[in-house]
C-alpha cells in the first residue's frame, strides 16, 4: 500500500488530487457517452447501406439500455465488492473493445447486420453498466458533501463534452471516410484511455500524490473514504437492501425523476441527429457541428446546477431546497422541446433544443442524491438501482420514437412524448419526494426503518 505524501514540503498546503480524479471521470464518461451516440451519427448512412428501417433503428438504439438495465444491480454489487476503481477500469477497456467490433458488421451478410449489431450493442450495455454507479461511488469517496453537488454536475457534463468533442469529429468521419471508421476510432481511443486509468487512478487512502491535509479535508467533510467498506469488510447485498430503497416514497419519487430526465438524454444521444437530417433536411457533417450548440448549453446548465445547489447548501438552506430548486427548474425548461413542433425554422428548432438541454443540465444535480441518501456501504448498489430507472427510459424512448416516426413520417408525436417527461419529473419532486434525507437500514439509528426515515415532510 502506498502511503500518501505527508512530508514537510507537502504538509503546508492541501493538495488537490481529487480534481485529477474528477477529470478522469469526465474523460472516461465522455468516451462512454460518445460510444453510445456513435450509432446516431452513423445511423443514417448505415441505414441506407444496410436497409435498416426506423423501427429496427429504434430497437438498435435501445439494445444498449436493455443490457444496461439488467447490469445495474450486479454492477453496483461488483463496485462495492471489488472496488470501484478496478471494476470501472476493466469495464472501460471492455466496452471500447466492443465499440471497435461494431465497425466490422458490414463485412458480413447484410441480412445478419441488424442481429449482429443488436448483440454487440447489448453486450456493450452490459459491460458499461458500472459507469454511472461507479462515478457516484468514486465521487462519494473523493469529495466532501459540500463539494459533491458541483463535482457530480461536472462529471455529468461529460455527455455534453462528448457531443462537443466527438460528435463533430464523428460527423466528419462519416462524411469524409465511412460510417465504419467511427466505431474503429472510438474503440481505439477508449482502450488507450483504459491503460491510462490503470496507471493513475487510486482510492484516496492509496493515492501516492495526496497529502494528509487533503485526506483530513475529505474525512471531515463526510467523504466515504473507505469506498463502501464497513469495519474493514464489504457487506453482502441482501434483499432487504433492495426493499430499503424501493419501500421509500422519497426514493421512488427520485427514481421517477431520473426516468424522466433520461428520456431527454436518450432522445439527444440517439434520435436528435436523425431528426435534424430527416426532419429538418441537414446533412450529417452540418449536424455534427450544429449539435454542439445544445451541448454547450447543457454543459453550462450542468455546471450551474451544481454550483447553485452547493451555494444553497453553504448558505444554510436544507438539502431538499438545494437539490430540488435546480432539478425542478431544469426539468420544466426541458419540456420546452415540444415547441419545436410549432416553428418552421431549423435554427429556431435548434435554439429550442438548446434551451431544453440547458434545463436538462441543471437537473443533473439529482445524481448527487445517490450519496446524499444512501448508507455508506451501499453507495455502489444504490447508484446501480438509481441508474436502472434511467436505463429503462433508454429502452422505452428510442423504441417509441422509432414507431412514431415510422407510423407518421414525422417527429411531431415523438417531441410531445419527450417533452411530457419534463413536467412529470417536476411533479414527482414537488409532490412525491418530500424532504430529502438519508435512508437507514432496519434497526439503524434507534431502530428507525428506512421507509420511515425518508417519509416526506413539509
Transcribe 72-127 into DSSP letters. HHHHHHHHHHH-HHHHHHHHHHHHHHHHHHHTTGGGS-HHHHHHHHHHHHHHHHHH
Q: Of the candidates 27, 121, 147, 16, which has an alpha carbon nearest to the alpha carbon of residue 68?
A: 121
3-state secondary structure of 310: helix
Most confident of 146-160, 182-196, 229-243, 249-263: 182-196
Whole-number pLDDT of residue 328: 93
3-state secondary structure of 235: coil
pLDDT in tens, 169-198: 888 888 888 888 999 999 999 999 999 999
Whole-number pLDDT of residue 39: 86
Whole-number pLDDT of residue 448: 37
Residue with more model confidence, 303 or 122: 122
Cβ 117 vs Cβ 59: under 8 Å: no
Look up the CATH number of the domain holding residue 295: 1.20.1250.20
**pLDDT beyond 70 at 7:** no
Structural domain including 43 reads: 14-224+238-453
pLDDT in tens, 59-91: 888 888 888 888 877 887 888 788 889 999 999
Predicted TM-score (pTM) above 0.85: no
Whole-number pLDDT of residue 236: 55
Most confident of 162-166, 234-238, 309-313: 309-313
Whole-number pLDDT of residue 40: 81
Whole-number pLDDT of residue 217: 86
pLDDT in tens, 272-291: 888 888 888 887 777 777 87
End-to-end CA distance of the chain: 48
Give residues with Cβ within 8 angstroms of 19, minimum separation 6: none
Q: Based on C-alpha coordinates, what's the Rg of the chain?
A: 22
Share of the chain above pLDDT 90, in %: 26
Average pLDDT over residues 251-273: 88
Question: Is residue 322 a part of any domain in this protein?
Answer: yes
Exposure b/e, 99-135, CB count within 10 A at least 16 = b? bbbbbebbeeeeeebbebbbbbbbbbbbbbbbbbbbb
Instruction: Classify burial at 55, counting beta carbons within 10 Å of its beta carbon; exposed 0-12, middle 13-18, buried 19 or more.
Output: middle
Question: Is residue 78 a part of any domain in this protein?
Answer: yes
Average pLDDT over residues 193-215: 89
Cβ 319 vs Cβ 164: under 8 Å: no
Residue with cell 477497456: 93
Whole-number pLDDT of residue 450: 41
CA distances (Å), 57 to each of 115, 305, 390, 398, in order?
Answer: 11, 33, 20, 8
Average pLDDT over residues 441-446: 49
Residue with more model confidence, 19 or 372: 19
Whole-number pLDDT of residue 4: 54
**pLDDT beyond 60 at 30:** yes
**pLDDT beyond 60 at 370:** yes
Residue with more model confidence, 227 or 448: 227
Question: Is residue 458 a part of any domain in this protein?
Answer: no
Average pLDDT over residues 134-160: 80
* Confidence class for position 454, pLDDT limits 50, 70, 90: very low
Return the C-alpha cell found at 64.
444498449
Instruction: Classify burial at 431, counting beta carbons within 10 Å of its beta carbon; exposed 0-12, middle 13-18, buried 19 or more.
Output: exposed
> Which residue stretches of 103-248 are H helix?
110-127, 131-142, 145-156, 158-176, 179-200, 212-220, 239-246
Question: Is residue 429 a part of any domain in this protein?
Answer: yes
Whole-number pLDDT of residue 452: 35
Whole-number pLDDT of residue 419: 93
* DSSP class of 230: B
**pLDDT beyond 60 at 24:** yes
Question: Is residue 75 a part of any domain in this protein?
Answer: yes
What residues form DSSP beta bridges with 230? 233
Give residues with Cβ within 8 angstroms of 407, minimum separation 6: none
CA distances (Å), 326 to each of 201, 306, 417, 426, 437, in order?
Answer: 31, 8, 23, 10, 17
Whole-number pLDDT of residue 5: 53
Question: Is residue 233 a part of any domain in this protein?
Answer: no
d(CA 233, CA 221): 23
Task: For the chain, give the mean pLDDT.
Answer: 82
Question: Is residue 137 a part of any domain in this protein?
Answer: yes
Return the C-alpha cell found at 199.
496507471
* Confidence class for position 96, pLDDT limits 50, 70, 90: very high
d(CA 421, CA 331): 8
Whole-number pLDDT of residue 446: 39
Question: Is residue 382 a part of any domain in this protein?
Answer: yes
d(CA 302, CA 361): 4
Most confident of 44-58, 140-154, 253-267: 253-267
How many domains is the chain built from? 1
Average pLDDT over residues 334-346: 92
pLDDT in tens, 316-335: 888 888 889 999 999 999 99
Amino acid at each position: 500500500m502506498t502511503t500518501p505524501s505527508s512530508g514537510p514540503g507537502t504538509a503546508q498546503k492541501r493538495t488537490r488530487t481529487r480534481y485529477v480524479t474528477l477529470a478522469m471521470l469526465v474523460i472516461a464518461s465522455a468516451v462512454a457517452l460518445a460510444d453510445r451516440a456513435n450509432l446516431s451519427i452513423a445511423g443514417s448512412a448505415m441505414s441506407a447501406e444496410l436497409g435498416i428501417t426506423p423501427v429496427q433503428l429504434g430497437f438498435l438504439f435501445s439494445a444498449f439500455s436493455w443490457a444496461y438495465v439488467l447490469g445495474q444491480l450486479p454492477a453496483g454489487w461488483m463496485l462495492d465488492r471489488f472496488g470501484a476503481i478496478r471494476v470501472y477500469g476493466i469495464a472501460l477497456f471492455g466496452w471500447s473493445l466492443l465499440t471497435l467490433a461494431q465497425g466490422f458488421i458490414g463485412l458480413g451478410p447484410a441480412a445478419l447486420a441488424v442481429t449482429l449489431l443488436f448483440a454487440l450493442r447489448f453486450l456493450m450495455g452490459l459491460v458499461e453498466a458500472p459507469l454511472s454507479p461507479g462515478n457516484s461511488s468514486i465521487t462519494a469517496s473523493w469529495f466532501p458533501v459540500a463539494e459533491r453537488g458541483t463535482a457530480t454536475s461536472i462529471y455529468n457534463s461529460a455527455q455534453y463534452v462528448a457531443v462537443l468533442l466527438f460528435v463533430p469529429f464523428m460527423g466528419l468521419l462519416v462524411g469524409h471516410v465511412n460510417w465504419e471508421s467511427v466505431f474503429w476510432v472510438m474503440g481505439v481511443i477508449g482502450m488507450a484511455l483504459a491503460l491510462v486509468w490503470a496507471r493513475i487512478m487510486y482510492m484516496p487512502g492509496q493515492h501516492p500524490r495526496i497529502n494528509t491535509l487533503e485526506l483530513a479535508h475529505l474525512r471531515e467533510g463526510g467523504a466515504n473514504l473507505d469506498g463502501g467498506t464497513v469495519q474493514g469488510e464489504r457487506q453482502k447485498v441482501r434483499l432487504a437492501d433492495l426493499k430499503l430503497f424501493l419501500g421509500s416514497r422519497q426514493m421512488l419519487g427520485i427514481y421517477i425523476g431520473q426516468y424522466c430526465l433520461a428520456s431527454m438524454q436518450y432522445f439527444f444521444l440517439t434520435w436528435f441527429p436523425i431528426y435534424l437530417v430527416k426532419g429538418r433536411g441537414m446533412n450529417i457533417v452540418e449536424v455534427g457541428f450544429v449539435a454542439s450548440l445544445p451541448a454547450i448549453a447543457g454543459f453550462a446548465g450542468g455546471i450551474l446546477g451544481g454550483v447553485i445547489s452547493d451555494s444553497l447548501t453553504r448558505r444554510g438552506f436544507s438539502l431538499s431546497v438545494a437539490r430540488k430548486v435546480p432539478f425542478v427548474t431544469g426539468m420544466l425548461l426541458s419540456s420546452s422541446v415540444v415547441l419545436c413542433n410549432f416553428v418552421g425554422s431549423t435554427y429556431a428548432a435548434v435554439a429550442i433544443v438548446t434551451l431544453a438541454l440547458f434545463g436538462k443540465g441543471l437537473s443533473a444535480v439529482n445524481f448527487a442524491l445517490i450519496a446524499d441518501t444512501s448508507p455508506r456501504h451501499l453507495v455502489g448498489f444504490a447508484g446501480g438501482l438509481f441508474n436502472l430507472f434511467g436505463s429503462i427510459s433508454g429502452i422505452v424512448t428510442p423504441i417509441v420514437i422509432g414507431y412514431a416516426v415510422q407510423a407518421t413520417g414525422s417527429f411531431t408525436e415523438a417531441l410531445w412524448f419527450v417533452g411530457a417527461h419534463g413536467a412529470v419529473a417536476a411533479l414527482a419532486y414537488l409532490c412525491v419526494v418530500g424532504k430529502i434525507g438519508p435512508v437507514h437500514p432496519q434497526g439503524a439509528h434507534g431502530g428507525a426503518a428506512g421507509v420511515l426515515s425518508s417519509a416526506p415532510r413539509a
